[in-house]
């Protein structure tokens, strides 16, 4: 499993990481990061927030926030980077159709050739991985030559692989023959070219390429495994062409401790057998027979060993080995049947995902270890396949999404309660607001202000200085007025002459005082009128707002109620679909697993039939042999 | 007649050969599983049922769930944090050579609204250029004060705690504030700023 993870991870990462240099290209003038991280200057907070989740490998939250930010128009400065990242995020969630649409949109816009090339290239890669070979080829062919030579080399390699998977070996040969790339990729190109030639029956042409890869001086498990594979492929191709003597030294190059050693041992035995050296063939085959019976090469050795003994006329030993093979095959088939039954009971996926960390969706996810279950030993090969891993990832993601929607369903119920509470509060507040509004006579207030202003105008016009006096002054002025009226009623009374003089003086003093402060008082009154006018206007505005609120609050709450209701319906519908599709995915993966086990069983059955037949033949031969004459 | 004559050497070898002669992919692009030892068959032949249809169904479904999540996210924000009262506080970190963030405390109008402890993964996400929305809440229109305290390891890996404050006007639109941790290279010290995004 570790090997599988190692093999897949670089590619999986590549699918997304390509988007990031674009996300970070904007601020090149910022000083470089000491850790080699690309500099980044925040242009849109919302985009930074998306990146925060992205860098945490939480792609589901990242994509949700990015889509929301896009809808709320919160990424105005980083729109293009955001789109590239969005495409990458969709890819990470296996949404290659949507990713393709986004990349296509970007490609239709005024993006640089560099962006276009990378978008097409990674799209082609993902489509290839998911088995969409035609789409993959179309995308890869969209990549122009103006691209990093290394990426171009990889592109050509991918194209050749697409062709080979489609059985178009001649096209693949043409593509690979013209291929030029970095030296460390040459081995892969030569290997694939050799394979394509073998597949078209051109062994003579293939030998040179495969032999070169098979003899390369390399380090590292990956290249060593490729070297082994080249030797193994060439060795078996030669065996098939009845060139056993040439095949042996080639097969002997395969490392004994490598992943292909069992096949190599089997092949070396066949090479010896092919030239009639059955005793020598027994050496690799007997060594192979001691290995785990799960390996099909080992299963085959259970037949080849007695076959060799038979060729060496050691019939007894051959019969013993055939008997042993039949017992071993019987036991193995029983184990496989039990495992198939377990899988049919539907427990396989739950077991596989028992130890899974369930709180995030990330592109990095791979099944890390197999459960301790009887069927596990048969599933290593299946789990190494992309098809099963992709299916398992889909199943896991569907389960994650179902949990996610269940959480939202609870939140949405809380929103309902909240909206109900708001509505209730509104109902309580409306009568109070209505009462306040009803008690507020804004027209009356305004009329009073108008009257007040007219009065001020009149005072000014008539220069009625006493009208703006203080209450005490007005009181004094009124007393003086009354005295004046009294004096006027007695104009000829000589006793009032003194009083008249004093009144005249007092009135003059009072008038002088009132006149002195009249302008200032008039200005104050006018200011007061203006303030009053402003206050009335503000009150009118508030009243309008309160009235509007009264009208709009029910509508806006109603809007939320409708939205909440709509999303709840969508949640329920999607939960149903998730359950259905999850079940389909489960059945599909079960089917893959059962098919794998049945194929293994069928192979063992074939071997068992052959063993029984051979054993019967031996017994038949023994029983028909001329009996030695009895001694007299 | 032995079995090898019956099935023939060529068949035995042919089966292995078919399994072995599939394309190999290089390390940088090794999305193709190297052919494991199995009977001859290409991936296209082994897919049971209508795999692509199921794959398309899964894709369509996941897309719908993602879209719904987006709608729920927007609805939640509009419902709980309407724009006229919304205030969002973000935190960003530039370089981080002189400061390793452990925690942040945020107070608005002298009331603690957030106390956040960072995992290594989160701190790393900030260093890579992520900006975290550390607080989302509601405030009335008017003047407010935000105070943030940053705790972590400063220069020489010593315990380090610093604060930063800002007085800001909350208008009728949403208010965004960014707590910025930057390196003040000449002084070999971190710097803590609060930016008011108008």
User: What are B1-40's pLDDT values in tens digits?
Assistant: 343 443 344 334 444 555 555 555 543 333 322 222 222 2
**What pLDDT is attached to residue B64?**
95
CB-CB under 8 Å, A49 with B90? yes
Least confident of A272-281, A449-458, A620-629, B25-34: B25-34
Q: Collapse the DSSP code of B146 into the 3-class scheme (helix H, G, I; strand E, B; otherwise coil) and give the result.
A: strand
Out of A8, A226, A242, the one facing B31 most closely (by C-beta) is: A8
Contacting residues of B for A96, CB less than 8 Å apart: 59
Average pLDDT, chain A: 82
**What pLDDT is attached to residue A153?**
83
Contacting residues of A for B27, CB less than 8 Å apart: 10, 184, 222
Out of A24, A198, A222, the one facing B21 most closely (by C-beta) is: A198
Q: What is the pLDDT of residues B53-90, one digit of tens each?
A: 888 899 899 999 999 999 999 999 999 998 888 999 99
Contacts of B160 (CB under 8 A, 6+ apart): B99, B150, B151, B152, B153, B154, B190
- Check whether A468 has a pLDDT greater than 80: yes
Mutation site for A-interface testing, chosen from B15, B25, B43 by largest number of A Cβ within 10 Å: B25
Q: Classify the complex by whether its ipTM is higher than 0.85, answering yes or no.
A: no
- Check whether A33 has a pLDDT greater than 50: no
Report the range out of A447-461, A594-608, B39-53, B134-148 with the highest average pLDDT: B134-148
The Cα of B142 is separated from the nearest Cα of chain A by a number of Å equal to 18
The Cα of A437 is separated from the nearest Cα of chain B by a number of Å equal to 24
Contacting residues of A for B22, CB less than 8 Å apart: 164, 195
Distance of CA A462 to CAs A458, A475, A516, A522, Å?
6, 20, 16, 12
Q: How far, in Å, CA of B73 to CA of B84, rounded?
A: 18
Radius of gyration of chain B, Cα coordinates, nearest whole angstrom:
30
The Cα of B133 is separated from the nearest Cα of chain A by a number of Å equal to 6
Q: How far, in Å, CA of A477 to CA of A515, rounded?
A: 13
CB-CB under 8 Å, A68 with B13? no
**What pLDDT is attached to residue B136?**
96
Out of A225, A581, A591, the one facing B61 most closely (by C-beta) is: A581
The Cα of A349 is separated from the nearest Cα of chain B by a number of Å equal to 17
Mutation site for A-interface testing, chosen from B55, B78, B101, B135 by largest number of A Cβ within 10 Å: B55
Percentage, residues of chain B above pLDDT 90: 51
- Check if B197 contacts A (Cβ < 8 Å): yes
CB-CB under 8 Å, A24 with B69? no
Look at the block and give the residue holding tokens 């809380």. A414
Q: Where are the domains of chain B?
A: 1-46, 53-80, 82-197
Q: How far, in Å, CA of B113 to CA of B85, rounded?
A: 15
- Check whether B153 has a pLDDT greater than 50: yes
Q: What is the pLDDT of residues A308-342, one digit of tens each?
A: 999 999 999 999 999 999 999 999 899 889 888 88
Contacting residues of B for A270, CB less than 8 Å apart: 9, 12-13
Determine the topology of domain B82-197 in CATH: Immunoglobulin-like (2.60.40)
Least confident of A146-155, A167-176, B176-185: A146-155
What's this model's pTM, rounded to 2 decimal places? 0.67
Assigned token pair, A474: 């007005």
CB-CB under 8 Å, B30 with A7? yes
- Check whether B44 has a pLDDT greater than 60: no
- Check if B101 contacts A (Cβ < 8 Å): no
């Amino acid at each position: 499993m570790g090997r599988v993870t190692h093999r897949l991870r670089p590619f999986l990462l590549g699918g997304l990481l390509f988007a990031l240099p674009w996300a970070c290209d904007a601020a090149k003038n910022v000083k470089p990061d000491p850790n080699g991280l690309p500099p980044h200057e925040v242009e849109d907070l919302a985009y930074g927030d998306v990146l925060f989740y992205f860098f945490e490998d939480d792609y589901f939250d990242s994509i949700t926030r990015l889509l929301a930010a896009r809808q709320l128009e919160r990424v105005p400065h980083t729109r293009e980077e955001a789109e590239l990242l969005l495409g990458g995020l969709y890819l990470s969630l296996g949404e290659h159709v949507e990713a393709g649409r986004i990349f296509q949109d970007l490609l239709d816009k005024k993006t640089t050739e560099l962006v276009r090339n990378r978008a097409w290239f990674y799209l082609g890669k993902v489509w290839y991985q998911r088995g969409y070979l035609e789409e993959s080829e179309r995308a890869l062919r969209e990549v122009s030559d103006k691209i990093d030579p290394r990426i171009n080399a990889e592109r050509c390699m991918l194209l050749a692989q697409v062709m080979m998977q489609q059985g178009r070996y001649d096209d693949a040969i043409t593509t690979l023959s013209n291929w030029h790339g970095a030296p460390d990729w040459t081995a892969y190109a030569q290997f694939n070219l050799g394979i394509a030639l073998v597949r078209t029956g051109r062994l003579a042409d293939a030998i040179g390429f495969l032999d070169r890869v098979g003899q390369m001086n390399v380090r590292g498990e990956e290249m060593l495994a490729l070297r082994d594979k080249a030797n193994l492929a060439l060795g078996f191709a030669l065996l098939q062409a009845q060139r056993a003597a040439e095949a042996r030294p080639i097969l002997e190059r395969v490392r004994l401790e490598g992943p292909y050693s069992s096949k190599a041992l089997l092949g070396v035995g066949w090479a010896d057998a092919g030239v009639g050296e059955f005793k020598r063939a027994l050496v690799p085959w007997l060594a192979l027979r001691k290995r785990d019976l799960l390996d099909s090469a080992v299963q085959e050795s259970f037949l080849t060993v007695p076959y060799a003994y038979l060729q060496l006329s050691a019939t007894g030993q051959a019969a013993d080995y055939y008997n042993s093979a039949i017992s071993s095959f019987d036991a193995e088939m029983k184990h496989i049947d039990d495992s198939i039954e377990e899988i049919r009971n539907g427990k396989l996926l739950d077991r596989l995902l028992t130890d899974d960390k369930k709180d995030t969706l990330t592109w990095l996810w791979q099944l890390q270890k197999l459960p301790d279950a009887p069927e596990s030993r048969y599933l290593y090969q299946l789990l190494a396949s992309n098809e099963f891993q992709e299916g398992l990832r889909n199943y896991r993601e569907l389960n994650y999404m179902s949990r996610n929607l269940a959480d939202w369903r609870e939140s949405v119920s809380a929103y309902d309660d909240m909206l109900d509470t708001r509505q209730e509060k509104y109902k309580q507040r409306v009568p109070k607001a209505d009462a306040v509004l009803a008690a507020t006579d804004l027209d009356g207030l305004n009329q009073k202000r108008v009257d007040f202003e007219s009065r001020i105008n009149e005072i000014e016009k008539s220069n009625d200085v006493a009208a703006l006096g203080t209450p005490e002054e007005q009181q004094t002025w009124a007393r003086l007025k009354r005295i004046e009226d009294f004096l006027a009623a007695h104009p000829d009374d000589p006793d009032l002459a003194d009083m008249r003089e004093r009144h005249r003086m007092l009135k003059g003093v009072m008038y002088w005082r009132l006149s002195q402060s009249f302008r200032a008082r008039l200005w104050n009154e006018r200011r007061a009128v203006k303030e009053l006018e402003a206050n009335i206007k503000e009150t009118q505005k508030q009243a309008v707002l309160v009235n509007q609120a009264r009208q709009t609050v029910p509508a806006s709450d109603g809007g939320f109620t409708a939205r909440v209701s709509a999303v709840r319906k969508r949640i329920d519908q999607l939960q149903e679909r998730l359950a259905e599709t999850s079940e389909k995915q489960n059945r599909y993966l079960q089917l893959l697993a059962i098919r794998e086990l049945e194929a293994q069983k069928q192979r063992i059955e074939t071997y068992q039939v052959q063993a029984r037949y051979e054993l019967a033949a031996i017994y038949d031969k023994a029983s028909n042999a001329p009996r030695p004459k009895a001694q007299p | 007649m032995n079995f090898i004559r019956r099935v023939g050497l060529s068949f035995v070898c042919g089966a292995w050969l078919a399994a072995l002669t599939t394309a190999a992919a290089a390390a940088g692009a090794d999305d193709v599983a190297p052919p494991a030892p199995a009977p001859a068959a290409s991936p296209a032949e082994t897919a049971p049922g209508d795999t692509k249809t199921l794959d398309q169904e899964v894709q369509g479904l996941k897309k719908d769930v993602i879209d719904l999540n987006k709608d729920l996210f927007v609805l939640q924000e509009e419902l709980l944090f309407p724009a006229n009262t919304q205030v969002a506080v973000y935190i960003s970190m530039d370089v981080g050579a002189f400061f390793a963030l452990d925690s942040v405390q945020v107070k608005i109008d002298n009331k603690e609204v957030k106390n956040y402890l960072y995992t290594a993964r989160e701190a790393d996400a900030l260093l890579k250029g992520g900006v975290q929305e550390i607080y989302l809440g509601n405030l009335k229109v008017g003047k407010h004060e935000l105070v943030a305290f940053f705790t972590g390891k400063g220069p020489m890996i010593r315990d380090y705690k610093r604060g930063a404050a800002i007085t800001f006007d909350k208008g009728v639109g949403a208010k965004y504030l960014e707590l910025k941790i930057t390196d003040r290279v000449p002084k070999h010290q971190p710097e803590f700023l609060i930016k008011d995004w108008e």
